[in-house]
Chains A and B, each alone.
Chain A
């Protein structure tokens, strides 16, 4: 039995065998790392996730959630000792530079560690996650004084951070925000406005909370171009760095949510008494550009959240399917006297599990791969190569966020189906995993907003160079797979899918050129999911090529080549054989069962149906 959270063998496969993070260790910044160390990080992260974080999963949902009492917000009581240990363990900011108290840990490695933490209890991991993002923002754009004053204490886990974008009237439409910043004589600003849905917005895990706040300086233009960003602490900070008086930020309430109940989601009123002071971060009217750094990171974290819940759901489902006895084997159906078997013997349960497994593995590979590209990017010297890399990261970011979060809900739902009625009950973690997963399709930019970013900005950028480059890479992998007997059928499906996607991208481009924007926008979500499936299929084929080669060597060593019975028996006793065989199976299943749908889905979009927009509003309503 595994840890019921994450397949740690697959984590190592993706990092060490598929992505090949050892290539990073040649870069001076990462030269202090090696595979042995990374292995140790993963082991400790797993231990911490399983032994310390996971026990808070259920508690923080039900009996001990974040709560608001007498005007004060509290994190779950069970989070306090865990947060302390998390800080002591140095997990608060591993990717931060060493001089800021971090370890310079590659993002790919931290992503793998974070999968364990998030799968154990994502609502806990949100507190350090947001802090890391906010501290990184100040660390990157702040003045040396601001870094010393705020970021270092945040990196040390002494203070926490948030991100304050959303307002009651400005959700997806950030440009509509109404929070204002009034110039003060000393160069600072008086902040007034309301921010809502602020994750980790107010709590008692730390003495101080530092809010990066988007606001408009009085007189600046409307829309996103007039927005600046400010550092607004919960308590004012004295000259010596100690905490001073309250900075006039009022917590109005914490939301009562469907899931992630351990996370304190606050509505914050800034400057009710006109005494909320903020410092400008970066330059005036560059707030959105600056915040995008944190937003991009947050989008990838949200893609990871999708993976985290999905992975935990899958691991629990396999275990349950092996334990739960129900019904006879399909071959024994007529024989009433035949014994009942574990449900993992039933074809539909196996199909469900393999569907979940393939998606989880593909999503894991995609997210770690993006982490790897982020690690690589700053050190690419060739200008053209660097731009290419940036564009690929830009293309993959909304796909990771929206695809992984959407699929996570499907995976968690299927996991619940495998558990049947028990899965719907609180006795098992399945219903909470599903509830916790759902928010990821909504926050950090809804999945529709992600799809618009993809279709409106990323796909067409530089004549579609990024997507064409990516498809070129996929074609290369597919060509290799065509030469491997086990992967040939799937590779042919990928070839057909690539053709269909290529045609679709062309069609979207020509609609765009002719000023026809409704159709690309109307189909944006479908387009994103089509590209997502294509990329996941690619990652799975890439993994299977490696796995198949290693599998062959193992089978040869054991003298089991060419004998299905021997291979099956060997898989039962040799974990490595079972693992590689499973990797090949994931790719086989996905490529043959999912990829063929891409052609039809692309065709449907190309038909140019506009019914949803052409149908009169009145037809939507019941009268």
Chain B
């Protein structure tokens, strides 16, 4: 099986986010970058399928600035076979639509049997790229999946997802398809030292817009359907209040506050 994994480099969840003075984005200096955690599940799942199906390959595809290379390398160190980075100044300012368009374009000629990705990236939390890529490629999609079973003949995949009320929804898709990973799909492995050493000699290519066959106005900020007006941090939360006393009295005081101070009941 030929498996592609879409991966995004995101700021570490511990990062203290700062906004640029002109509110046009976040300050990226000094940020520690990591693989989007949901994409880690996707990489792990791809590797597990590869281990089961002899002759399979795993390719990691990412769109982003040069520094994304190190995160692709992490995926290669985990065991993926090759990596592709789409890096072009014209791609800057892309929204989900423009991102999906570029990603779809790079994957089209690869003829993957299965494309895995995280259900969303933890930086902007849009959760739209996988679906759009599926549309661009005309593939079936299964989103927010926490269990995946690929049929022995590699023609179908059974995907499980949690739905409201604790129930599970089971989807069957014909391959090739796009499957987006939810937490719980697996426990991602750690990149091993021998893996890290091997990663440096694994095939890796960087492609720009020209090589993709896309025009600058189709991608990046120009091709985006969504314009970000400004970035700002949420207002600091006021400290919570603890209402002392016996439960009955406290409940009474709470209702009073909800009515008179918060004016919500």
Q: Which residues of A are interface residues toward B (Cβ below 8 A)?
A: 1, 32, 36-37, 39-41, 43-44, 47-48, 52, 85, 88-91, 94, 103, 105, 573-576
Q: Is the CB of B193 within 8 A of A103?
A: yes
Asked if B170 lies at the interface with its beta carbon under 8 angstroms from chain A, I say no
Question: A37–B190 contact, CB under 8 A?
Answer: no
Nearest CB on A from B79, distance (A): 12
Report the separation of the CA atoms of residues A39 and B73 in the bound assembly, to the nearest whole angstrom: 12
Contact with A along B1-34 (1 / 0, CB 8 A): 0000000000000100010000000000110000
Question: 17 more A-B contacts (CB under 8 A) besides A36-B70, A89-B192?
Answer: A1-B14, A36-B73, A40-B70, A40-B77, A41-B193, A41-B196, A44-B77, A44-B191, A85-B190, A90-B192, A90-B193, A90-B195, A91-B193, A103-B194, A574-B30, A575-B30, A576-B30
User: B30–A89 contact, CB under 8 A?
Assistant: no
**B200 contacts chain A at the CB level, 8 A cutoff:** yes
Chain A residues with Cβ below 8 Å from B171 are none
In angstroms, Cα B32 to Cα A576, docked, is: 13
| Cα distance, A530 to B20, chains bound together (Å) | 49
B68 at the interface (CB under 8 A from A): no
Closest CB in chain B relative to A39 CB, distance in Å:
8
Complex CA distance for A244 and B70, rounded to whole angstroms:
47
Which residues of B are found within 8 Å of A44, using beta-carbon distances?
A: 77, 190-191, 193, 196
Within 8 A of A (CB), among B62-79: 70, 73-74, 77
Q: In whole angstroms, what is the CA distance A44 to B192 when docked?
A: 8
Contact call A37/B70, Cβ cutoff below 8 A: no
Closest to A34 in B: B200
List residues of chain B with CB within 8 A of the CB of A43. 74
A52 CB contacts on chain B under 8 angstroms: 190
State the Cβ distance, B174 to closest chain A Cβ, in Å: 35
Given A573-B18, A574-B29, A576-B30, A37 and B200 touching (CB < 8 A)? yes
B73, B190, B200 pick with most chain A CB within 10 angstroms = B190
| B14 / chain A contacts, CB cutoff of 8 Å | 1
A43 to B77, CA, bound (A): 12
Q: Are A32 and B190 in contact (CB under 8 A)?
A: no
How close is A63's CB to chain B, nearest CB, in angstroms? 24
Task: Find chain B residues with CB under 8 A from A105 CB.
Answer: 193
User: Which of B29, B193, B197 counts the most A-chain CB atoms under 10 A from its CB?
Assistant: B193
| Cβ–Cβ contact A40 & B190, under 8 A | no
Once the chains bind, are B194 and A47 in contact (CB under 8 Å)? no
Compute how far the CA of A69 lies from the CA of B248 in the bound complex, rounded to whole angstroms.
Answer: 53
Determine the chain A residues whose CB is within 8 A of the CB of B192 once the complex forms: 88-90
Interface centre among A1, A39, A89, A574 (most CB of B within 10 A): A89
Closest to B69 in A: A36
Which chain A residues lie closer than 8 Å to B193 at the CB level? Answer: 41, 44, 89-91, 94, 103, 105
B124-173 contacts to A (CB < 8 Å): none
Chain B contact residues (Cβ within 8 angstroms of A): what range? 10 to 19
Contact partners of B18 in chain A: CB under 8 A? 573
**Residues of chain B contacted by A41 (CB below 8 angstroms):** 193, 196
How far is it, in angstroms, between the C-alpha of A37 and the C-alpha of B200 when the chains are bound? 8
Q: How far is the CA of A100 from the CA of B4 in the complex (A)?
A: 35
Bound CA–CA A90/B190 (angstroms): 10
In the complex formed, the residue of B with least CB distance to A92 is B193
With most chain A CB atoms within 10 A of its CB, the pick from B14, B30, B74, B189 is: B30
Chain B residues contacting A32 (CB-CB under 8 Å) are 197
Once bound together, how far apart are the Cα atoms of A94 and B197, in whole Å? Answer: 11
What would be 21 A-B contacts, judged by CB atoms less than 8 Å apart? A1-B14, A32-B197, A36-B70, A36-B73, A37-B196, A40-B73, A40-B74, A40-B77, A40-B191, A41-B193, A44-B191, A44-B193, A88-B190, A88-B192, A89-B190, A90-B192, A90-B194, A90-B195, A105-B193, A574-B29, A575-B30
List chain A residues, Cβ under 8 A from B200.
37
Task: Give chain B nearest CB distance to A95 CB in angstroms.
Answer: 11
Cα distance, A85 to B193, chains bound together (Å): 12
Residue of A nearest to B201 (CB): A32
CA distance A47 to B70 in the complex (A): 15
Set of chain A residues within 8 Å of B77, measured between Cβ atoms: 40, 44
4 residue pairs, one from A and one from B, having the closest CB atoms? A90-B193, A575-B30, A90-B192, A89-B192
- On chain A, the residues within 8 Å of B190 by CB distance are 44, 47-48, 52, 85, 88-89
Min distance, Cβ B249 to any Cβ of chain A, angstroms: 28
Residues of chain A within 8 A of B191, CB atoms compared: 40, 44, 89
Q: In the complex, what residues of B have CB within 8 A of residue A94's CB?
A: 193
Cα distance A48–B193 when bound, in Å? 12
Question: A39–B196 Cα gap in the complex (Å)?
Answer: 11
In angstroms, how far is the closest chain A Cβ from the Cβ of B54? Answer: 21
For the complex, what is the distance from the CA of A103 to the CA of B193, rounded to whole Å?
8
Interface residues of B in 177-211 (CB under 8 A from A): 189-197, 200
Q: Which residue of the partner chain, among B73, B74, B189, B197, contacts A103 with CB atoms under 8 Å?
A: B197
Residue-by-residue, is B52-96 near A (CB-CB < 8 Å gives 1, otherwise 0)? Answer: 000000000000000000100110010000000000000000000
Q: How far is the CA of A52 from the CA of B187 in the complex (A)?
A: 12
Bound-state CA distance A41–B191 (Å) is 9
- Bound state CA distance, A90 and B194, in angstroms? 6
Q: In the complex, which of the residues B30, B189, B194, B197 contacts A37, with contact meaning CB atoms closer than 8 Å?
A: B197
Residues in A whose Cβ lies below 8 Å from that of B29: 574, 576
| Complex interface bits, B98-121 against A, C-beta within 8 A gives 1, otherwise 0 | 000000000000000000000000
**Docked complex Cα distance between A41 and B77 (Å):** 11
| B200 nearest CB neighbor, chain A only | A37
**Docked pose: A90 CA to B191 CA in angstroms:** 9
A356 to B74, CA, bound (A): 34
User: In the docked arrangement, what's the CA distance between A90 and B73, Å?
Assistant: 17
A88 to B194, CA, bound (A): 10
Task: Quote the shortest CB–CB distance from A100 to chain B (angstroms).
Answer: 13
Roughly how many angstroms separate A405 CA and B73 CA in the complex, as a whole number? 38
Closest CB-CB distance, B241 to chain A, in whole Å?
17
Q: Contact flags (1/0) for B215-234 with A, using CB distance below 8 Å?
A: 00000000000000000000
- CB neighbours of B70 from chain A (8 A): 36, 39-40
A91 and B193 alpha carbons, distance in the complex (Å): 7
* Residues of A with C-beta under 8 A to B196: 37, 40-41, 44
Residue in B closest to A576 when the chains form the complex, CB atoms? B30
**B74 proximity list for chain A (CB < 8 A):** 40, 43
Which chain A residue lies CB-closest to B33? A43
Chain A: minimal CB distance from B58 (Å): 19
Smallest beta-carbon distance B17→chain A, Å: 12
Interface readout for B237-262 with A: 1 if CB under 8 Å, 0 if not?
Answer: 00000000000000000000000000
Q: Which residues of B contact A1 (CB under 8 A)?
A: 14
Residues of chain B within 8 A (CB-CB) of A103 are 193-194, 197
Chain B nearest Cβ from A155, distance in angstroms: 13
Nearest chain A CB to B63 CB, angstrom units: 21
In Å, the complex CA distance between A103 and B189 comes to: 20
- A339 to B: closest C-beta gap in Å: 12
A1 to B15, CA, bound (A): 8
CB A499 to nearest CB in B, in angstroms, measures 42
CB distance from B11 to the nearest CB of A (A): 13
Complex CA distance for A41 and B29, rounded to whole angstroms: 22
Q: Would you give the shortest CB distance from B30 to chain A, in whole angstroms?
A: 4
In the bound assembly, the distance between CA atoms of A576 and B30 in angstroms comes to 7
Report the nearest B residue to A47, measured CB to CB: B190
Q: What is the CA–CA distance of A604 and B136 in the complex, to the nearest angstrom?
A: 82
A85 to B189, CA, bound (A): 9
Minimal beta-carbon separation of A547 from chain B (angstroms): 16
Nearest CB of A to B44, in Å: 14
